[in-house]
Amino acid sequence: MGSYYLAKLIQEGEHQQQDFKYCISDSKKIAKSLVAFANTDGGRLLIGVKDNGNIVGVQSEEEYYMVEAAAKVFSKPQIDFTTRQHQAEGKTVLEVTIESSQNKPHFAKTEEGKWLAYFRLKDENKLANKVMIEVWRKQKRKQGILLHYSEKEQLLLDLLEKSGSISQSAFSKQACITYRESVRILSDLIVLGVLEINTEDDKIRYVISEDFDREEWDTENPN
């Protein structure tokens, strides 16, 4: 049963919620994967499996302790995880499961000592931008968001209705506002459900939510 379950997982390949690791040589690199899963939809690491799905196994309990260090020392805040061992082909594969966190954003410590946030996109860990980080922070707050529906917000919606999507830098430039202000406006509107983050082309852009009604919004938020 255990080997059949593992075979099914490996057959899925690497994807948004699954990553293969041949071995663990650096807890910092594993922290990046843990953080990306925790900041997105959760997922699992299969340690002892090559990228092509071949099972090589883990050699000792050292891998567990390196995962623990990645989750508790090189991730901030710490990340909860569970583990499970699978036996297949006479080898041991360590399954590490991470749930989508309620305590986002999580940051991983780099070799240079910097703390960076990541998210999971398809089968890759991507660097989160400032807008994403602000959205995660604002979603945790107990108090709501007080939004002043100004000409800048209206301009953003006008631009999106014309072009379909926009980058943070393009919005900042066209609205003649600072980077910080553009981050605040974009993150506020995402938390309020007006905008969504789009990563379809492996680039972070912003689009109007399908559920957003501009006419109703303008009526409820007059100048």
Nearest to 223 by CA among 149, 132, 113: 149
pLDDT tens for 41-100 read 999 999 999 999 999 999 778 899 999 999 999 999 999 999 999 999 899 999 999 999
State the pLDDT at residue 101: 97
Non-local CB neighbours of 101 within 8 Å, separated by 6+ positions = 38, 39, 42, 79, 80
DSSP sequence for 133-188: HHHHHHHH-SS-------HHHHHHHHHHHHHS-B-HHHHHHHHT--HHHHHHHHHH
Q: For residue 11, what are the CA distances in angstroms to 44, 46, 65?
A: 14, 12, 27
Dihedral sign for Cα atoms in the order 60, 66, 68, 69 = positive
What pLDDT shows up at residue 2?
63
Show the beta-strand stretches assigned E in the chain: 18-21, 43-47, 75-76, 82-88, 91-98, 107-109, 115-121, 124-127, 195-198, 205-208
What is the structure's pLDDT at 1?
A: 44
C-alpha–C-alpha distance, residues 209 and 195, integer Å: 5
Q: What are the angstrom distances between the C-alpha of 190 and each of 51, 147, 210? A: 35, 12, 12
Task: Using 50 as the pLDDT threshold, list the residues of the chain that sit under it.
Answer: 1
- Distance (Å, whole) CA 36 – CA 126: 8
Q: Quick one: which of 104, 95, 91, 84 has its CA closest to 41? A: 104
Q: From CA 203, how far away is CA 62, in angstroms rounded?
A: 37
